[in-house]
Chain A
Amino acid sequence: MSELSTNHLLGIKNITLEDINLIFETADNFKEVINRPIKKVPSLRDVTIANLFFENSTRTRLSFELAEKRLSADVINFSAASSSVKKGETLIDTVNNILAMKVDMVVMRHPNPGAGVFLSNHVNASIVNAGDGAHEHPTQALLDAFSIKEKLGEVNGKKILIVGDILHSRVALSNIFCLQKLGAKVKVCGPNTLMPKFIESLGVEVELDLMKALQWCDVANMLRVQNERMATRYFPSTREYVAQYGLDKEKLDMLNKKIVIMHPGPINRGVEISSDIADSHHSIILNQVENGVAIRMAVLYLLASKLKHYKN
Chain B
Amino acid sequence: MSKRILLNSEEINIILNRLSCQLIENHDNFKETVLIGIQPRGVFLSERLKQLLIKNYHLDKINFGKLDITFFRDDFMRGDKVLKANKTDINFVVEDKKVVFIDDVLYTGRSIRSALTAIQSFGRPKSIELLTLIDRRFSRHLPIQPDYKGRQVDAINRERVIVSWAENNGEDAVYLIQDNNE
Contact = CB atoms under 8 A, between A and B. Distances in A.
Nearest to A104: B77
Contacts of B58: none
Candidate in A2, A42, A307 with the most chain B CB atoms within 10 angstroms:
A42
B81 interface: yes
Given A36-B121, A301-B71, A305-B82, A43 B87 contact: no
Nearest to A42: B72
A75 to B, nearest CB: 17
Contacts of B78: 308-311
Contacts of A41: 71-72, 118, 121
Interface residues of A, number: 28
Interface stretch (A24-32, A177-185, A207-215, A244-252): A24-32
A231 interface: no
Contact of B81 (A1, A33, A307): A1
Contacts of B123: 37
Contacts of A26: 85
Interface string A292-312: 000000000110110111110
Contacts of A301: 71
Contact of A29 (B85, B121, B122): B85
B117 interface: yes
Given A29-B70, A304-B77, A1 B82 contact: yes
Interface of A: 1-3, 25-26, 28-29, 32-33, 36-43, 46-47, 301-302, 304-305, 307-311
24 contacts: A1-B83, A1-B84, A3-B82, A29-B71, A29-B87, A32-B87, A36-B121, A36-B122, A37-B123, A39-B121, A41-B71, A41-B72, A42-B117, A43-B71, A47-B77, A301-B71, A305-B76, A307-B77, A308-B77, A308-B78, A309-B77, A310-B77, A310-B78, A311-B78
Given A37-B123, A39-B121, A47-B77, 11 more contacts: A1-B81, A2-B82, A2-B84, A33-B71, A38-B121, A43-B72, A43-B76, A304-B76, A308-B77, A309-B78, A310-B78
Interface pairs A-B: 3 shortest CB-CB: A41-B71, A38-B121, A29-B85
